[in-house]
Amino acid sequence: MARLIMKFGGVSVADGKRLRHVGDLVKHFNSDNEIVIVTSALQGVTDDLLFAARKAANEGNVSDVIDFIEKLTDRHHQAVADAIKDQGIAREVQETLDQKLSELEKAYIGICYLGELTPRSLDYISSYGEQLAAPILAGVLRDMGVPSRAFTGAEAGIITDSEYGDSRPLEKTYHLIPQRLLPLQGVPVVTGFIAKDEKGTITTLGRGGSDLSASLIGAAIDADEIWFWKETSGVLTTDPKIVPEAKSIPSISYREAMELSYFGAKVLHPRAIEPAIRKGIPVRVKCTFDPESPGTQIVHDDVQKVDVIKAVTLHKNVALLNISGAGMIGTLGVAARAFTALARAGINIIMISQGSSEANISMVIEERQMEKAEDALRAEFPRDLVKDISHDLNVCAVAVVGAGMAGTPGVAARVFKAMGSSRINVMMISQGSSQHNISFVVAAKDAERAVQELHREFGLGGEA
Ligand code: ASP
Ligand code: MG
C-alpha cells in the first residue's frame, strides 16, 4: 500500500470526457494505493477568468460579465453531464457549482463598478477555476463508487503569505495539512494553485502553481511518490517536434530536472518540486494517455549519475545583451550595478558570461524585455564606464543537461566539436560550476539543427 499524490491539469481536465478518464485512472490505482488528488482548473479556464476580469475593469460592461458567467456555467454543467452518470450526484455537484458561480458573478460586477483590479482581487477571481473543477472531480469519483470530497487549498491546510499573485506557503502549512487530510477518507480532491493567507483572504501560488500544491501536500503527509500526470510520456530527451526520436528519460535527479526547466523544457517548475526535494520524496511524471508506462522518475541527486548527458533543451525568444567598454577593466562593481539595474527593472537574466579581459559582459534575457533592459542600463552607466550597450536578436539558447558531466572530461569538447563540424557558430558560452549543464547561444536559424546534432552526438534517441 503506497501513498500517492496525483496531480492533474491542462488537457487531462479539459472536459467531461477527460475528467471521466481521470476517474478511471484513480479507480485503477486506488485498489492498492492511498491517493490524494490535486487538480487544476479545466483547461484554459484560468486564462479566461483573468481575461474577463481585465475586460470588466477596463470597460465596466455588466452584460459582458453576465455573458461570460453564462458560458462558464455551460462549460462546467456540460462537463458534469458528460462525466457523472448518477442524476442525484450530478445535481448535487451542479448546485455547488451554481453557488460558486453566483459568488464569482458578484465579484465581476463589483469590478465593473469599481473599474479597478488589484492583485488581491485577481487572486480571488482566478481561484474559481480550481474551485469549480474540484467538486466535479470529486463527484466523478463518487459516481464511480470511490468515496471522495473536494477541499480548497486552504481547507486542506495550505496557508501562505499575502504576496497576491505569487504567494509562498508558510512553514505551518506542513503541520496543518496532515491535520486536515489524515487519516485519509476515500480520495480527497484538493484544488491546486489556491490557498489563503493568515487573514483568511484567498491567495494563489503563481501561474502553474498546482504542481507546487501537489508537492506541498505530498511532502506534508509523507507520500511515497508524487505523480504529475501530463500529456507527454514523462520527461523527454528533447522536444519531439525538433527530434522525432526523442525518448522518455526513465530516471533523472532533482537537480537535473531543475536545470531542464530553467532551460525551457516544460517539465515542472523548479519551485514546484522544492517541497518534495526537502523530504526526499520521489516525483514521477506520467502520461495520461499511457498510464501503464512508468514515465520519468525524478529522484534524489546521488542516485542518478549514469549517463553523461540526459537531455538537450532549446530556449527560444531570447536575446543577447552585451555591455562593453575599456573603462570596465578592473573597475569594481560594474557587474553588480548592471545586475541590480536589471533586477530593479524586473528583468530576469537567463545566462551570464564575462571573459577574463573584463571588457565586456554578455547576458541572455527574454527578447520581449530587451528595450526595457537597455534603457535600464543606459540610465545606470556613464559612457566613460560602459561605452557600448548592444544586442543580438534572433538567437536561441541551447543547453545540454546531465549530472554525469560533472568531473567527466571531454563533454564540452564533444559539444563544440559537434557544432563546429555542423558549421554552427557559437555566440556565447556559459557553464556553471555545478557542471550540470553547458549552455550556449546560437543564431535562431541554426538552433534546431544544433539540438538535432547534440541529440545524435550523445546517443539520446538510443541510436548511438
Ligand atoms: N490554473 C492555474 C494556472 O493556469 C494553475 C495551474 O494550472 O497549475 O496557472
Ligand atoms: Mg491551468
> What tens digit of pLDDT does each residue of 87-121 get?
999 999 999 999 999 999 999 999 999 999 999 99
Looking at the CA of 207, name the nearest ligand. 1
Q: How many CB atoms lie within 10 A of CB 302?
A: 8
In CATH, what number does 311-457 get? 3.30.2130.10
What pLDDT band is residue 234 in, cutting at 50, 70 and 90? Answer: confident
40: CA distance to ligand 1 center in Å? 6
Identify the bridge partners of residue 202 per DSSP, sorted by sequence position. 196
pLDDT band at residue 302 using 50, 70 and 90 as cut-offs:
low
Give the model confidence (pLDDT) of 127-186 as tens digits: 999 999 999 999 999 999 999 999 999 999 999 999 999 999 999 999 999 999 999 999
Of 127-141, 247-261, 362-376, 382-396, the least confident: 247-261
Pick from 12, 210, 229 the residue to mutate for probing ligand 1's pocket: most ligand atoms within 8 Å of its CB: 210
The residue whose C-alpha atom lies closest to atom 8 belonging to ligand 1 is 208
How far, in Å, is the centroid of ligand 1 from the Cα of 301? 28
- The structural architecture, per CATH, of the domain 2-231 is 3-Layer(aba) Sandwich (3.40)
Measured from the Cα of 193, ligand 1's closest atom is 5
| The domains spanning 2-231 and 311-457 adopt the same CATH topology | no
Residues near 156 by beta carbon (within 8 Å), at least 6 away in sequence: 177, 180, 181, 188, 190, 217
Nearest-atom number in ligand 1 for the CA of 129 is: 1
At residue 262, does pLDDT exceed 90? no
First to last CA, the chain: 40
Which of ligand 1's atoms lies nearest the C-alpha of 208?
Answer: 8
Kind of pairing, strands 426-431 and 437-443? antiparallel
Q: Rounded to whole angstroms, how far apart are CA atoms 160 and 169? A: 4
Ligand 1 centroid from CA 167, angstroms: 14
**Which residue bears the cell 470529486?**
138
CA distances from 117 to 57, 107, 334 (A): 6, 11, 39
Banded model confidence at residue 464, pLDDT cuts 50, 70, 90: very low
Q: Is the pTM of this model over 0.95?
A: no
Domain extents in the chain: 2-231, 311-457
Where are the extended beta strands (E) located within 306-456?
A: 311-324, 349-354, 360-366, 388-401, 426-431, 437-443
To test the ligand 1 pocket, which listed residue (39, 40, 48) has its Cβ within 8 A of the most ligand atoms? 40
Summarize the confidence of residues 261-265 as an average pLDDT.
68
Of all protein residues, whose CA lies closest to atom 7 belonging to ligand 1?
A: 208
Q: Given the CA of residue 210, which atom of ligand 1 is nearest to it?
A: 8
Q: Which atom of ligand 1 is found nearest the CA of 211?
A: 8
| Burial degree of 185 (CB within 10 A; 0-12, 13-18, 19+) | exposed
Ligand 1 site residues, Cβ closer than 6 angstroms: 9, 40-41, 46, 129, 192-193, 207-210
pLDDT tens for each residue of 36-65 = 999 999 999 999 999 999 999 999 999 999
Q: How far is the CA of 46 from the centre of ligand 2 (A)?
A: 6
| Cell numbers for 231 | 500529456
